[in-house]
A and B are shown apart, each in its own frame.
Chain A
């Protein structure tokens, strides 16, 4: 394997890992705030690493510029979307999950 291929493989593996973490967090975490936290942080990094792999694959070419712009806008917009969701949830009066909810809700499941 050439160094470029190794770099692409490492970046893709990192992207898959962080996207997987985001998916697990979205399914397993208890309420909207923690899920937003999981989805925004891990998913942004996962998508960023995958797009970095795309940029490395294409080398010095126009698609690299497009991938870099995609990374830039993803890093700007994804946390803002998470902020908007969390803010809207707080605006609607949704209370954050606490350990007490887990103890009372654990008996039902």
Chain B
């Protein structure tokens, strides 16, 4: 098999774009992103939550990577930006959780915030932060796994 198609097929060459996949990803991505946010905010009163919604939002990044190439995706997003997003999510979650303690309540005690419908909006904010953390982590793992493939050997085409 590989005699007729030498190693030029997959050796050191970037992904060949398919117009069908790119068009589909362009059309579907906004809906998937919206659906991820919907699942995140839905977690306050029914099935769903930050973890599931974060994975769905991360799927958008995975689709973009598969359609347009993972290396361009990594350069477009930037690894430090990804780390910053995850760190920011953790920091926001901790600020929310410890902030209620600072205001005289318990850990994650939303009514201590003193805002209207504190529990509802508090849970939704925390779900959003969790979703940001999960989406950033999954995207980072995807990008990092792909970045590791070139370092082992020149020919990753052994299969």
Contacts and interface: CB of A to CB of B under 8 A. Distances in A.
A92 B1 CA distance: 10
A94 B1 contact: yes
Interface in A60-84: 73, 76-77, 80, 83-84
Contacts of B153: none
Interface stretch (B13-21, B69-77, B93-101): B13-21
The A interface is mostly helix, strand or loop, or mixed, namely helix
Residues of A in contact with B, size category: 10 to 19
Nearest to B23: A80
B66 interface: yes
B10 to A, nearest CB: 6
B16 A91 contact: yes
A25 to B, nearest CB: 22
Contacts of A77: 24, 28
Interface centre among A87, A91, A93 (most CB of B within 10 A): A93
B1 A84 contact: no
26 contacts: A73-B28, A73-B31, A76-B24, A76-B27, A76-B28, A77-B24, A77-B28, A80-B20, A80-B24, A83-B18, A83-B20, A83-B21, A84-B18, A84-B21, A84-B66, A87-B18, A87-B21, A91-B9, A91-B10, A91-B16, A92-B9, A93-B1, A93-B4, A93-B5, A93-B9, A95-B1
Interface of B: 1-2, 4-5, 9-10, 16, 18, 20-21, 24, 27-28, 31, 66
